[in-house]
Structure 1
Amino acid sequence: MDSSELKPIAGGGLLDRRLFMQKGLCFSLAAMAAGSSEASMSSSQRLPWMREPGKAFSNYGQPSPYERRTIRWTMGNEMAPGNGVSWTPLHDLEGMITPNGLHFERHHNGVPQIDPQQHQLLIHGLVRQALVFDLQDLLRYPMTSCLCFVECGGNSNAGWHRRPIQTAAGYFHGMASCSEWTGVPLRILLEEAKVKGGGKWMIAEGADAAAMNISIPLEKAFDDCILALYQNGERIRPENGYPLRLIVPGWEGVVNVKWLRRLHITNRPTMARNETAKYTDLLPSGKARQFSFVMDAKSLITSPSFGQRLLEPGLYQISGLAWSGRGRIARVEVSADGGESWAEAELQAPVLAKCFTRFRIPWQWEGDNTVIKSRAVDESGYVQPEREALIARRGRHGYFHYNAIVSWKISAQGDISHVY
């Protein structure tokens, strides 16, 4: 079945005709099979059988050639080769983990090809003992793993436009991905370097041609930052920061410095381009939000969404992702009548702090024009805002940190579009 065409669950018409089914309803195999012509077929008729020997072993697995449409969408800067972005196809994925080859990218001057035997990490500045580590040194330290999302501060920025963009959900909101990162807790190395009393900030710098650097409060560095060497069980790939990446859970992507080579401990932020001219938000008052590190709660319905189509009235599953840099997602509410009423979706376990959370809810579509949307609430009590409320608070000069509720309009013909 083409992912752009969503078929209703067979037997859905037997259920009552409310917008949402009762909480806790599951799609049973029996319900899915009811009314299906395939149910009466014999197994020999239904199941394909490979009669010839298959392909040989490979040294590294690749996706099926039938899944070639599930790709990152890339966009470069013609005036500055190596500067650009790629989006994760969230609309084509399931679960909570992003495959390494589909993790979004944001590069400022290309992807460096770094020999791990030559790479080193320097920790210096307001420390009692400057330290230099090579990769073999770091591999000897105790490691830890954390599941967390990384989201660019510029993710979803088309939401600031006056007209709603019409593109796939992932190619609009896909500068966000979720992985298991494994590496050395940063606090271990900072304790070894013995930070001096005046040290309040850490300047992290990458080894790329842009010499990307950014300021991070030391309190966060000692809390939960990781010097990541592995992503989803394998060594980090070059476009994701090989051979060493700083992971700062829950904070905007720019501070998760790739190709990490230097940590400079100082008493003040460096006021680099990417924390002054960029990644700040000009407010209606004329002041600018700066160092707004934490990514606020956000949710997104990925199915059904733009580019997909409902074939006929019936029972469908609404599914999507929610995340928050403040902690765990407490609940996700879904509306199928443009916000007139809301129902709480089921959160797929595990529900982890600062991590993608998959939500699902069964929905009976009657074949009418309607608008579906979701809103996330995190454990701090923060509620994802409507677009109008976000603009009223932040003004119309924004580019970064867009996290408003996303609305999909479904026509009587089953076509889906993005609406405000």
Structure 2
Amino acid sequence: MTQPPDAPTPQKQEQGFERARELFLQGLDLLSRARLEEAEQAFAGSLALLPHRISTLVNLAAVRVKLGWPDEAIEAADQVIALEPGNADAWFHRAESLVLADRRPEALESFAKAGQLQSAALPWFRHGQVLQSLEHDDEALDSYQRALTADATFAPAWTNAGNILRERSRLREAAHAFRQAIAHGGGDALNTYYLASVSGDAQAGAAPGQYVEGLFDSYAEGFDKHVVEVLGYRAHEVLASETVRLAPGRWFRSVLDLGCGTGLCGALLKTCSERITGVDLSAHMLAKAKQGGHYAQLAQQDIDGFLRQTDGRYDLVMAADVFIYVGDLAGVFAGVQRVADEGALFCFSLEELGADAAAEFELQPTLRFAHSERYARRLAAEHGFDWVHALRTPVRYDQRKPIDGLFVFLRKRAT
């Protein structure tokens, strides 16, 4: 029996197979080097020559997820699942695609399927992360525990579980989780900070920069509305209004706004100042501050570093709700002393540590530092500042409960 005239010969079939294999291997190499669009084209080209190849479809789904192409990634993953329903990788890529498409409740089912099909921590970890994003923390904790059952060395699951336990005031369990995360190589700086918050470690000096930057980069959109309307945040208003009251009619030549965020202080100080400089770690926050148009200069830098390096001189230094991320304030006081003119005002807010506390400052389970009045008074005296005024009023509300605030107003002494 003869073949139809258009049927490929065995030689052409072999050539097609070899070319498909070549493109597949090329795609793997390009994917390993993060040349994603080229890798996607190579995998697609391989499939055109050798359709329904499971390994090629799985990698095509993976690279499309990395490219942020959810619909195309789901299409590739679904082809695999139709051919091989027990393919855990395909279910995982399908789940990630659904997250990209903001179809998170649907993604949960696919992550769970991937977790059921293979003994691996990652699917259950991602399942937990999605549950947390949907504010289902109790269920998320179960998912992290399932991830750790699959792999007890998976440090990110220990960290996330620890933070849920911390927020639930289950501090001993949280401390155990953070110690496990550290033991298994899970970002020592962050987990050490988390551990200090639940173990009463008074030696923690400041929040890690990566924590503060990441927190506020993710928080920048909608920050003002949330902190003012939801948390009842008023620190910027209290500092600005009290500063004006204490220095009526004063025109500030050069203002330094430490931890300026989106520019809430700058907006209030523009009517009594010539030039305002803002400093913040978060690029996204600074972008919002720039939109307001109140700042002559904006610097993305940590506070200590800026105060050590700047050539600027200032007659007003503000820090509204900033020192909750800095425990040891000695470096900040030394830096402000260096850059402040004689007679300059240094005004800031603190979460107040109770007068009966033995420590001068303390990292709390909320991941915020609280400081005592006696600590602020000691640092002021040691760094050449007179104590002008202090005011007690809530800095914000947490779970509808007021958070005690101490607003401090200092003046630099003449030398």
TM-score range, shorter chain: under 0.3
Higher strand share: 1
TM-score (norm 2): 0.22
- Which has the higher relative contact order, 1 or 2, with Cα contacts under 8 A spaced 6 or more apart? 1
Task: Tell me which structure has the larger Cα radius of gyration.
Answer: 2
TM-score (norm 1): 0.22
